[in-house]
Copies of this chain bind each other. A is one copy, B any other.
């Protein structure tokens, strides 16, 4: 895993990904007492940065392998990212989802052209059975959500863009806060910044109670989460940092930050109010850290990545309701 792989992914993504804007709002800066720059990856195709990693991985396959198709296990942003990436290559995609996945996510994934296979239906196959069958019968390639070099390379293109855009804002040192699940995005950004903007330092942001990456960085060994449900930040809840992503984060990242659910909801509301972007809970952890943990952040400017915007209406209304209090 190295910067050349990220630059190669960036070349493959050129003209396909959206170069998302680095937003700011003077009234938010006043409120925070420092300049806040927000990398709006919620504006990426499919509504999250996951499109980059999916496209990078699909485009890196040789043509014969790609024609046999790709598989992903996901009911979330990775599903949509891989589905659209495969469609853009004319390659078949099977997205394997739990049978209780929300109908809208199933519908969206199908609308991007993917075949959706449900597992854990009564009397049906397990997730592993489905994966093994598709690999054996159809020769499909599994695209893992984060612990996969070409996925990390794709996510790292966010870091290349941040390096250029931060310089345009006159910012060349400070913390880059990243919503962190398994660490694919955080490690990719860390590698890109080390190469192109060494004064900027990536820091993972997680929900309180699910801060496996922060604890792993603190102790120097991979730590796990006690539970994998019960957070509104579903997009970034993973068992533990990856075997590939953790060493990169350990070498390059600053300490992790943990945010409360209330802070996440407030950050979503402030992003709506001041930046005019729609952010999902798991995509707002870094914003929440920038807004409510300012004393743990260095420098006159801070950059936060808003990683996704795929949120349902009820949750969004909950976030906006925090503006009353």
Which residues in A have some Cβ–Cβ distance to B below 8 Å?
15, 18-21, 23, 25-27, 30, 40, 42-43, 45, 47, 84, 87, 108, 111-112, 168, 272, 274-279, 309, 313, 316-317, 320, 323
Chain B residues contacting A26 (CB-CB under 8 Å) are 45, 84, 87, 111-112
Q: By the criterion CB–CB under 8 Å, are A276 and B111 in contact?
A: no
- 13 contacts across the A-B interface (CB closer than 8 A): A18-B21, A23-B43, A26-B45, A26-B84, A26-B111, A27-B111, A27-B112, A40-B43, A43-B275, A47-B276, A276-B277, A317-B317, A317-B320
Chain B residues contacting A316 (CB-CB under 8 Å) are 272, 320
Q: Give the shortest distance, in Å, between A35 (CB) and chain B (any CB).
A: 13
The residue on B at minimum CB distance from A269 is B313
Neighbour of A30 across the interface among B27, B111, B168, CB < 8 A = B111
Q: Give the shortest distance, in Å, between A29 (CB) and chain B (any CB).
A: 11
Chain B residues contacting A112 (CB-CB under 8 Å) are 26-27
The A interface, classified by DSSP as helix, strand, loop or mixed, is helix
Sample of 4 more A-B contacts, CB < 8 Å, known A47-B274, A317-B317 = A21-B21, A47-B276, A316-B320, A317-B320
Most chain B CB inside 10 Å of its own CB: which residue of A19, A27, A45, A274: A27
Chain B residues contacting A21 (CB-CB under 8 Å) are 18-21, 43
Chain B residues contacting A84 (CB-CB under 8 Å) are 26
Chain B residues contacting A47 (CB-CB under 8 Å) are 274, 276
Q: By the criterion CB–CB under 8 Å, are B276 and A272 in contact?
A: no
How far apart are the CA atoms of A278 and B112 in the complex, in Å?
24
- Nearest first, the 7 A-B pairs at minimum CB distance are A276-B309, A276-B278, A42-B276, A313-B320, A27-B111, A272-B278, A47-B276
How far apart are the CA atoms of A42 and B25 in the complex, in Å?
12
Chain B residues contacting A108 (CB-CB under 8 Å) are 27
Given the known inter-chain contacts A47-B276, A277-B277, please indicate yes or no for A18 contacting B23, CB distance below 8 A.
yes
The residue on B at minimum CB distance from A42 is B276
Chain B residues contacting A272 (CB-CB under 8 Å) are 278, 316
How far apart are the CA atoms of A161 and B40 in the complex, in Å?
19
How far apart are the CA atoms of A112 and B25 in the complex, in Å?
11
Q: By the criterion CB–CB under 8 Å, are A276 and B30 in contact?
A: no
Q: Give the shortest distance, in Å, between A51 (CB) and chain B (any CB).
A: 11
Chain B residues contacting A18 (CB-CB under 8 Å) are 21, 23
Q: Give the shortest distance, in Å, between A121 (CB) and chain B (any CB).
A: 26
How far apart are the CA atoms of A111 and B45 in the complex, in Å?
34
Q: By the criterion CB–CB under 8 Å, are B111 and A43 in contact?
A: no
Chain B residues contacting A320 (CB-CB under 8 Å) are 313, 316-317
